[in-house]
Structure 1
Amino acid sequence: MTEWLPEAARYAARWLDYQMRATEQPGCVLAIAGGDKLLLEHASGVADLDSGTPLTPEHRFRVASHSKTFTAVAILLLRERGLLTLDDPVGRHVTGLTPAVGAVTVAQLLSHGSGLMRDGTDSGHWQDRSPFLDEASLRGQLDEPLTLEANSRFKYSNLGFGLLGLAIEAVTGKSYGDWMMREIVRPAGLAATTPDVPAAPGAPLATGHGTRLPFNRRFPVPGHNPTDALAAATGFVSTAGDLARFMASLDPAAGSSVLSAASRREMTRRHRRVPEAEGDRGYGLGTISGSVKGHDWFGHSGSFQGFISRTACVPDWNVSVSIVTNAVDGLANQWVEGVLTIFERFDRHGAAKPGLDVWAGRWWTIWGATDTVPMGDRILLASPGQLAPFAEASEIVPSGPAEGRIAVSGGLGSYGEPACLMPSADGAPERLKLGGTELLPEAAFLLEMEARRGTSA
Structure 2
Amino acid sequence: MLPVTDDRTARVLRSIAPYLAEWASFQAGYHGLPGLQLAVGLRGEVLVDLAWGTADVETGEKLTSDHLFRIASHSKTFTGVLVMQLVERGELRLDDPVGTHVPELDGTPAAAVTVRELLGHQGGIIRDSSDGDFWQHGKPFLDRDELIECVRTEGVVLAPNEHFKYTNIGYSLLGLVIENVTGRTYDDVARAGIVEPLGLTRTGTELDPARAAEYAAGHTARLAHDDARRVVPHVDTRAMAPATGWYSTARELVRYGTAHVLGDTTLLSDASKRLMQREESRVVVRGTERGRYGVGLEVGVVGDRRLVGHSGGYPGHITRTWIDPADGLVVSALTNAVDGTATPLANGVITLIDLALAAADEVARLAGTDGALEPVPADAPVGRFANLWGVSDVVDLGGILHVVNPRAASPADQAVRLVVRDGDLVQEAVDGFGTVGEPVQVERAADGAVTAVRLGAMRSWPVEEYRRRTAG
TM-score, normalized by length of structure 1? 0.93
Question: Which residue in the other structure is 2:67 paired with?
Answer: 59
Q: AA paired with 1:405? A: V
Question: In the superposition, relative to structure 1, how do residues 361 and 52 fare at CA in structure 2: closer, same or farther (>3 Å)?
Answer: same
Question: Which residue in the other structure is 2:257 paired with?
Answer: 247
Q: Deviations over 1:101-129 (max 9, x none)?
A: 11111100000001000001111211101
Q: Does structure 1 residue 14 correspond to structure 2 residue 22?
A: yes
Q: Does structure 1 residue 192 correspond to structure 2 residue 202?
A: yes
Partner SS for 2:103: coil
Contact 1:393 1:409 in 2 (8 A): no
- The one of 264, 267, 291 aligned to 1:281: 291
Contact 1:250 1:257 in 2 (8 A): no
Q: AA paired with 2:393? A: D
Partners of 1:377 and 1:35 lie apart in 2 by 23
Alignment of 1:348-387 (within 5 A): 348-350=358-360, 353=375, 355=377, 358-387=380-409
Partners of 1:357 and 1:388 lie apart in 2 by 28
Q: Deviations over 1:386-436 (max 9, x none)?
A: 1012213221112478x3111145632111111143321111222222233
Q: Deviations over 1:164-202 (max 9, x none)?
A: 000000001011112211221111222110100116647
Question: Which residue in the other structure is 1:84 paired with?
Answer: 92
Alignment of 1:180-329 (within 5 A): 180-198=190-208, 201=211, 204-213=214-223, 216-223=227-234, 225-254=235-264, 256-276=265-285, 281-329=291-339
Partners of 1:61 and 1:408 lie apart in 2 by 46
Contact 2:220 2:337 in 1 (8 A): yes
Q: Deviations over 1:191-237 (max 9, x none)?
A: 110100116647610000002336821111022x1111100000001
Alignment of 1:91-170 (within 5 A): 91-97=99-105, 98-143=107-152, 144-170=154-180
Partners of 2:326 and 2:260 lie apart in 1 by 14
Partners of 1:218 and 1:93 lie apart in 2 by 44
Deviation at 1:253, TM superposition (A): 3.1
- The one of 384, 406, 418 aligned to 1:396: 418
Contact 2:440 2:453 in 1 (8 A): yes
Q: AA paired with 1:243? A: L
Question: In the superposition, relative to structure 1, how do residues 50 and 265 fare at CA in structure 2: closer, same or farther (>3 Å)?
Answer: same
Q: Give unpaired runs (5+ residues) of structure 1.
A: none
Question: Which residue in the other structure is 1:437 paired with?
Answer: 458
Question: In the superposition, relative to structure 1, how do residues 85 and 301 fare at CA in structure 2: closer, same or farther (>3 Å)?
Answer: same
Q: AA paired with 1:209? A: H
Question: Which residue in the other structure is 1:29 paired with?
Answer: 37
Partners of 1:133 and 1:188 lie apart in 2 by 30
Contact 2:98 2:177 in 1 (8 A): yes
Deviation at 1:91, TM superposition (A): 1.2
Partner SS for 2:428: strand
Q: Deviations over 1:224-278 (max 9, x none)?
A: x111110000000111111122112112233x42111111111111111123497
Q: AA paired with 2:89? A: R
Partner SS for 1:33: strand
> RMSD across aligned C-alpha pairs, in angstroms?
2.0
Partners of 1:357 and 1:78 lie apart in 2 by 59
Partners of 2:313 and 2:396 lie apart in 1 by 36
Partners of 2:206 and 2:383 lie apart in 1 by 42
- The one of 172, 185, 189 aligned to 1:175: 185
- The one of 436, 449, 463 aligned to 1:415: 436
Deviation at 1:375, TM superposition (A): 2.7
TM-score, normalized by length of structure 2? 0.90
Partner SS for 2:145: helix
Question: In the superposition, relative to structure 1, how do residues 55 and 363 fare at CA in structure 2: closer, same or farther (>3 Å)?
Answer: same
Contact 1:306 1:328 in 2 (8 A): yes
Q: AA paired with 2:382? A: A
Partner SS for 1:180: helix
Q: AA paired with 1:79? A: V
Partners of 1:229 and 1:196 lie apart in 2 by 10
Deviation at 1:357, TM superposition (A): 7.5
Count of matched residue pairs: 448
Contact 1:48 1:207 in 2 (8 A): yes
Contact 1:356 1:374 in 2 (8 A): no
Q: AA paired with 1:301? A: S
Contact 2:219 2:232 in 1 (8 A): yes
Percent sequence identity is 38
Question: In the superposition, relative to structure 1, how do residues 74 and 380 fare at CA in structure 2: closer, same or farther (>3 Å)?
Answer: same
Q: Which moved more, 1:421-430 or 1:260-269?
A: 421-430
Deviation at 1:377, TM superposition (A): 4.7
Partner SS for 1:8: helix
Contact 1:381 1:390 in 2 (8 A): no
Question: In the superposition, relative to structure 1, how do residues 216 and 202 fare at CA in structure 2: closer, same or farther (>3 Å)?
Answer: closer
Q: AA paired with 1:395? A: R
Deviation at 1:348, TM superposition (A): 1.1
Q: Which moved more, 1:209-218 or 1:163-172?
A: 209-218
Q: Which moved more, 1:55-64 or 1:275-284?
A: 275-284
Question: Which residue in the other structure is 2:81 paired with?
Answer: 73
Q: Give unpaired runs (5+ residues) of structure 2.
A: 364-374
